[in-house]
Amino acid sequence: MSTERDSETTFDEDSQPNDEVVPYSDDETEDELDDQGSTVEPEQNRVNREAEENREPFRKECTWQVKANDRKYHEQPHFMNTKFFCIKESKYANNAIKTYKYNAFTFIPMNLFEQFKRAANLYFLILLILQAIPQISTLAWYTTLVPLLLVLGVTAIKDLVDDVARHKMDKEINNRTCEVIKDGRFKVAKWKDIQVGDVIRLKKNDFVPADILLLSSSEPNSLCYVETAELDGETNLKFKMSLEITDQYLQREDTLATFDGFIECEEPNNRLDKFTGTLFWRNTSFPLDADKILLRGCVIRNTDFCHGLVIFAGADTKIMKNSGKTRFKRTKIDYLMNYMVYTIFVVLMLLSAGLAIGHAYWEAQVGNYSWYLYDGEDDTPSYRGFLNFWGYIIVLNTMVPISLYVSVEVIRLGQSHFINWDLQMYYAEKDTPAKARTTTLNEQLGQIHYIFSDKTGTLTQNIMTFKKCCINGQIYGDHRDASQHNHNKIEQVDFSWNTYADGKLAFYDHYLIEQIQSGKEPEIRQFFFLLAVCHTVMVDRTDGQLNYQAASPDEGALVNAARNFGFAFLARTQNTITISELGTERTYNVLAILDFNSDRKRMSIIVRTPEGNIKLYCKGADTVIYERLHRKNPTKQETQDALDIFANETLRTLCLCYKEIEEKEFAEWNKKFMAASVASTNRDEALDKVYEEIEKDLILLGATAIEDKLQDGVPETISKLAKADIKIWVLTGDKKETAENIGFACELLTEDTTICYGEDINSLLHARMENQRNRGGVYAKFAPSVQEPFFPPGGNRALIITGSWLNEILLEKKTKRSKILKLKFPRTEEERRMRTQSKRRLEAKKEQRQKNFVDLACECSAVICCRVTPKQKAMVVDLVKRYKKAITLAIGDGANDVNMIKTAHIGVGISGQEGMQAVMSSDYSFAQFRYLQRLLLVHGRWSYIRMCKFLRYFFYKNFAFTLVHFWYSFFNGYSAQTAYEDWFITLYNVLYSSLPVLLMGLLDQDVSDKLSLRFPGLYIVGQRDLLFNYKRFFVSLLHGVLTSMILFFIPLGAYLQTVGQDGEAPSDYQSFAVTIASALVITVNFQIGLDTSYWTFVNAFSIFGSIALYFGIMFDIHSAGIHVLFPSTFQFTGTASNALRQPYIWLTIILTVAVCLLPVVAIRFLSMTIWPSESDKIQKHRKRLKAEEQWQRRQQVFRRGVSSRRSAYAFSHQRGYADLISSGRSIRKKRSPLDAIVADGTAEYRRTGDS
C-alpha cells in the first residue's frame, strides 16, 4: 500500500522545485488553467463572414454582443432573461446604478427583518409577546419594550442615515450628463439614460459613465489620458489608445453617427486588468484588449475630448462587479461572548424550571388550602407551575442583557475614533492619518500571535534610487574622483552640464561622468542609451519640464538615471522614440516592443537607427538573460561577480544586453509577430513563442543596481513585537536572496541564526511522515498525539522557503490534471470504492503534511516565504489559522496582498506607493510599518483590557440585579413577583448603570502608552486570553450571585420586626424594593470605581452622576403628581420620600454596600501585594520608570561579504505600456490589477549561486 501512487500527485513530481520561479500565475483562474488546451484558430475571412451574416460568437467565451448605434438590436427576444415567473428583462443592464438598500416603503419592514435576524433581538421580541399575556406576566410590558425600542431605534437611525447618503450619491451620479448620439447628432443625456451600444463624447475632467471602447480622441493617434483614482487610488495618469482604424475614420460627428461596428467580447466580469474581444467593421476584424477600454469611474485628463462605444453599462461595469461584499470578520471575544450568552440562557431556563416546580409544589401544599389566596381560577398546581415558568423567563430575562450588544458597539466605535485621532500614527509627509476602517475588531488587536507581512513597500520604502552599475565588467558608483581615486568624503556629482538633469539623483562617482563625456568606452554610452530607449515609460512636458509616468518605480528610476547621465527620453509616438544623446536629439523608429510579464522576466525593444540599422535592446533578470547570451561574452563572469557584490548590499539588480539584427531576419520574424498579434485564441502564448525566437545570442552590456531602503523604524518595530511574543512571517514575491538580505537588514535574521531552506524542510517533514506512518499510518492524527519537536532545544532558527518548495511540501502542486482525470470514470463499484479510499488517503496525507509544516515553521523564530503568489500568501495565513488556532494579522500595501489581508483575522493596509487596493480591502490602514507597534501594543492592548473589564463588569452587574428576584421567590410562594418597581427594572441598564461602564470601556488604561511600548511583555495577557475566559466569566457570575444574596438578605433581616422612629412600620414591600434598589445602584457604581485604573473627571462624574440621577428620577416617579396623571403606571406613590427619611433605612443601605464592597477591596489589596501582575509592578514604579532612559535599538552587525546572498531586480510584476505604445497592434500578456501598476514592489528576478 505504501508504494501506491495516485495520479493526482504524480504529474509534476519528477521536476525539482525551482527557487527562481513563481509556481503559477495568479492572473489565471482555475478555469483558465484547465482550458489552456489548443484550439484551431478559425480562418480570418470565415470569422468575418460569420460575424456579419450570422452574428454568432466565434469563441465560446466571447458571448457578449454589442451593435453600435442600434438600441433595438439589444432588445431582441434571445437577449431577454426570465427574472420572475413570466417577467423578463434584458441581459444588458441600463446605466442607472442602485447602491441603496431601502426606499420609503421598504425601510421599516426590511430593516426590522434584518435586525430580528440577530438572536438577541428576536429573543426580546418573543419576551415582549409573552409579557402581553396576562396569565403569564407579572412584569409590565414596557420594561422590555423601552430597551428594545432603544436598541432597534438607534440601529435603524444609523442604517437610515447611511442609506440616505447612498440615495443622494446614487441620484447625483445617475443625473450626471454627457453627450450621446441620438438621431444623428450629439445630444446631452443623463447617465441613467445611457444604454449599451451608444456612442458618447466625453470632455476633459469628465468621469467615464460606463465601460466604453475608445474610438478616437483629440490627441495625436487617439491617445487618451485617464486617472484611475476611483478604481485603485492612484493619481498618476494611465494611457489608453484607440485602434488605428477608428482613429482614422471616426473623428467627425457624421461618421460617428453612421458607425455600425459589431463587437463580440467576454461577458461582464470583475477583472479590472483584463478584456478580450473583437471589433468587426469594414469587412475586417480587429482584436480588442484592456488598453482600448475606458472603465467607469475613470476621469479624462489632459485630453480635450474623446469618443467611445458603450460596452458594459450600470451593474455590468467592472467597478460595480468589484463592489461585492467582503468577508465578515468577528473577534475571538465575540464568539466567546455569544457562547457565554448561550450559557446564561441555559442557566435562565434551569432557574425558571426549578422555580416553576417550586411554585407547583407550593400551590399543592399551601395555595390550595389558603382561602385568602383564591383568585377565582381553578387551575391545577402543575398548570400554574407551567404558567409561572414563562413568568420567570420574563422576570429573569435581564440575565441576558439586551443593552450588552449596543454598549459593545458604542465602545468599539469610540476606540476606532481614538485610532483615527492618534497624532503619533499620523504621517505628516503625505498627510496620511491612521484609519480604522472597521469598528468590530479593535480588541482583537490585543491578541495577535502571528504577523504576515509583505516586503516591498511594507518593510521597504518602494522608492527606488539608482546607486551603482556594472558596465563592461567594471563597477561604477563608489565615492571616487575623476582620476579613479576613492575618497571617503567627496562632493556629489554636479549634473549642471546636462540641461535635462532633474537634480534629484545623488551620485558620487565622478569617474563615470568623465568616461561618459570623453567617450573612450562606447559601451558606457550604449549602456545608458539602452536605459533611455528600452522601457514603456510615457512622457509629457509641464512648464518645460519632463515628467515621466512609469509602470513601476524601478523602471522610472532607470529612465531618470539615464536622463541625468545625458541620455534623456524626450518623446514617443506609436512608431518612434526620441532621445537626447548628450545634447543631440535623435529619433528612432520603433519596430516592436516585446513587453515584460512575470513569466518572461524581461522586456525588449527593436528599433531602426537613423542610419538604417536594426537593433534589439533587452533588459531583464539575470537568470533569463544569461540563458540567452551569445557564447562569446567576455565580461560575463565579471558582471556576475558585480551582481554578487550588489546583492550583498541589498541592491536590486537588472542585466542589460543587445544584439544587431539583419534586415532579412527581421522581415521573417515580423511576419510571425504580426500573425501572433491578431491571433484569436492563445494570443499571449503565441506572442511569447515568437519573442523567444528573436531574443537569443545577446551581447551583455552590464547590470544596474537600484536601492530600495527600509522604512524608518522597521528593525525597532520588529524587535518590540518579538518581545511581545508576536512571530513575524514575511511573505513576498521577491527573490530568495533579496528577501534574505532584507531579513538581515530588518533584524529578523541575525548572525547566530541557523537558516533552513526548502530542501532541509522537505527532508525533515519526510522523516516525520515516515515515523507517523510507522506508528499509525497516515491516520496517525487519530492516534494519541506525541508532539515531538523538529529541532533540538536551544538555538535560533529561521525558515526561508520559496513558492515552488511550498507547493512541493504542502502537496499543493496542481497542474492541468483535473481535466485528464475526469476522462477516466470508474466502471465498477469496486473501482469507485478504491478511488474514494485513495482520495481519502491522499487528503489525510496532505492534511498531516500541512500540519507538520506549520508545527515546524512555528518552532522557528522567523519565517520568510519568497517567490510566492498572492494565492499562496493567503494559503499560508489560512494554514496557521487552521492548525494553530492563533489570531493572525496580515499587512501589505499592494493589490497582490489583498487576498492575504482578507484571509487573516485582521488586515492592515499601508497607503504607500502601490495604489489603494490593499487599503480599501483592509480593516486598518496607516502610512508606515512602524505604526504597527503602536496599533498593537497600545491601542490593541488597551482595547482588549477595556473590553474584558467591560464584559466582566457587565455580567456581574446584571447577575447582581436579576438574581435578587430569585432569592425573593423563596418568600413569595415562587409566584414570579418582582423584587423591584417596574420602572426601576426598565431604567437600570439604560440610565442607572450604563454610563460608568461605557466610559471605562472607552477610557481605562492600566499603564500609559509610553510604558506600553517600553514593556512589550505586557501584551502577552491578551494572547493567552487571561482577562476574559470561562473561568473569569464564572468568577463574575459567582460575584454577582453573592452580591445579590447580600443585597436581598441584609435588608430582609433589617426589615423583620422593625418599627420606624415615628412608630410606623417601614417594612412594607414598596419600601423594601426601594432599599434594595438604592443599595444595588450604589454598590455597582462603586464597584466600577474599584475596577477603574485610570481616573479622570469624566469617570468620577459618571459614577456619582448615575447615583444622583437614580435618586432624582426615583423621587419624580414616586411623586403624587405623576400618580394622578397615570395611576395604573406609577403605583409607588410617596414610597421614596417615606422610606428614605428613616435613618434606619440609610444605615441598612450603607451596611449592605459595605458588606458587598469590603471583601472585594481586601482581595484586591492582597492580590496586588502578594501576587502582583506585570502591570501592577509597572504601575507601582511608573514614576521611576518615566525618568529612566528610553529603550535603544541594539547595534546591528551586517554580514557584508561573508556569504554570497544574491539580490535581484527587474521590473514590476506586470507588463508596462507596450500595447499602448504599439498602437494596439501588439497584444500582450494579461496584466495585474490596475492598482498594482506600481506593482508588488516590482518583481525581483535574479539567479542564485554562481553561474
State how far the Cα of 32 lies from the Cα of 885, in Å rounded to an integer: 34
Secondary structure (DSSP) of 454-477: -STTTTEEEEEEEEEEEETTEEE-
In the structure grid, which three cell numbers stand for residue 291, read together?
A: 488598453
Secondary structure (DSSP) of 676-728: HHT-SSSHHHHHHHHHHHHS-SBEEEEEEEEEEEEPTTHHHHHHHHHHTT-EE
SS3 content of the chain, % helix, strand, coil (to 5): 50, 15, 35
Residue entry with cell 406576566? 137
Residues 6+ apart with CB under 8 A from 733: 22, 866, 867, 868, 869, 896, 1213, 1240, 1241, 1243, 1244
Compute φ and ψ for 615, nearest 5 degrees: -130, 145
State how far the Cα of 1135 lies from the Cα of 1069, in Å rounded to an integer: 10
- The amino acid at residue 192 is K
Residue entry with cell 523564530? 861
Is 1197 exposed, middle or buried, given 0-12, 13-18 or 19+ CB atoms closer than 10 A?
Answer: exposed
- The amino acid at residue 664 is K
State how far the Cα of 1251 lies from the Cα of 1247, in Å rounded to an integer: 8
State how far the Cα of 435 lies from the Cα of 458, in Å rounded to an integer: 16
Q: Is 494 a catalytic residue?
A: no
Q: Which of 399, 415, 411 is closest to 120 using CA atoms?
A: 399
Q: Which of 178, 413, 158 is closest to 998 using CA atoms?
A: 413
In the structure grid, which three cell numbers stand for residue 1146, read together?
A: 440609610
Q: Which of 512, 664, 677, 441 is closest to 1218 using CA atoms?
A: 677
State how far the Cα of 443 lies from the Cα of 645, in Å rounded to an integer: 46
Q: Which of 575, 569, 565, 579 is closest to 546 using CA atoms?
A: 569
In the structure grid, which three cell numbers stand for residue 81, read together?
A: 432573461
Secondary structure (DSSP) of 1194-1220: PPP---TTTS-------S-SS--SHHH
DSSP state of 585: E
Is there a contact between 293 and 214 (Cβ–Cβ < 8 Å)? Answer: yes
State how far the Cα of 258 lies from the Cα of 252, in Å rounded to an integer: 10
Distances (CA, A) of 296 to 187, 311, 690, 791: 20, 11, 35, 55
Is 855 exposed, middle or buried, given 0-12, 13-18 or 19+ CB atoms closer than 10 A?
Answer: middle
Q: Side-chain half-sphere of 690: how many Cα atoms within 13 Å?
A: 29
Is there a contact between 849 and 809 (Cβ–Cβ < 8 Å)? Answer: yes
541: helix, strand or coil: strand
Q: Pick the catalytic residue from 211, 454, 897, 1006.
A: 454
The alpha-carbon radius of gyration of the chain (Å, integer) is: 37
In the structure grid, which three cell numbers stand for residue 872, read together?
A: 499562496
158: helix, strand or coil: helix
Q: Which of 26, 914, 99 is closest to 554 using CA atoms?
A: 914
Residue positions annotated with a catalytic role: 454
